[in-house]
Amino acid sequence: MPAKAVITAPVPTVQETAREMGVAKARVRQLRQLMTDIVEGRIGRVVRFVTRTAPAGPKRRAVAKRRVARRKQAARS
């Protein structure tokens, strides 16, 4: 049996990590609930929780289009 490990370094919270990675608070809540459900065995199919259920709104769609346009423009230069 392996020996127990003691973590002594400060470990960042989920919120701190999400903030650094730019993940929205709502998405963090959704992912935390997903992981809790998986660990507790409440869900059998994970795919329907991971994918977004609602279509992207017009603002999100416009932002995504701008990002794609910038990437294409950067690739051409």
Q: What is the pLDDT of residues 22-64, one digit of tens each?
A: 999 999 999 888 888 877 777 665 555 455 555 656 677 777 7
How much is the pLDDT for 8? 78
Ordered by start, the domain boundaries in the chain are 14-76
Mean pLDDT for 8-15 is 83
Closest-CA residue to 29 (of 2, 49, 43, 3): 49
How much is the pLDDT for 57? 65
CA distance linking residue 16 with residue 10, whole number of Å: 12
How much is the pLDDT for 76? 75
